[in-house]
Structure 1
Amino acid sequence: MNYVRQLNAFGEKSIGVLNAKEQAMYLRLFLIANQLKWPEWFEVANSQLMRELGMRWKKTIINARRELEKKGFIQSVDPGHKMKTRYHLIQLYDDASKVHLSTKIGHKTKKIRHKK
């Protein structure tokens, strides 16, 4: 996953869609995924998210997770009591429409935009 492109896409797609708690939780998950070197899926305990986000209630985490899933920002698997939740961050940017290739023509560099 491209860190900058994902963060920029999140900034665009979250406006007017996510509330402050949902945004905070997504960004915390984003940072955790980055620290773990972007695994496809990763585990985080509700207690860790509560502590890092300054949230007092487990239900707040569960509601934010449910909304992030419903709105297409994440996927998650909650294995149950006293087990860490598994998370997957959905790629929010489109690879195909924004790929730029550079080719040298003489002394000039020409940018070619490829669309799918």
Structure 2
Amino acid sequence: MELNKIVEMQIKMDESHGFPVHFPTIQEKYRQLTKDLVGLFGEIGEFSNIVKKVNIKLDRPNEYPFELPEAENHLKEELVDSLIYIIRIGAILGIDLQAETLEKMRKNESRYAQLRRN
């Protein structure tokens, strides 16, 4: 499935749950952008906290009660939650995430060409 289809599905779901994507004023747009940005930082924080706990477990396996297989499931969930916030922020700003990601990948390919190993 293309990223644009995922974005479209997420926007429809957001709108059906009362989370706006289009706003009558710039103030309302940036208020929602701020809320979604705080949400994104929260999800990234949760992801980071799990990584921190994994490292503690790896450093002290017998002293820290934390299950590594469970951690990867939680990491997956927090990463996807973060992506959903990025999709919402992109929709609020009117960004075509698929096109912009492909363009940035092309730029990075050129920018980091000297690091290519093949």
Q: Could you say which TM-score interval applies, normalised by the shorter chain?
A: under 0.3
In the superposition, the TM-score normalised over structure 2's length comes to 0.25
Identify the structure with bigger relative contact order (alpha carbons < 8 Å, sequence gap 6+): 2
- More helix per residue: 2
In the superposition, the TM-score normalised over structure 1's length comes to 0.26
- More strand per residue: 1
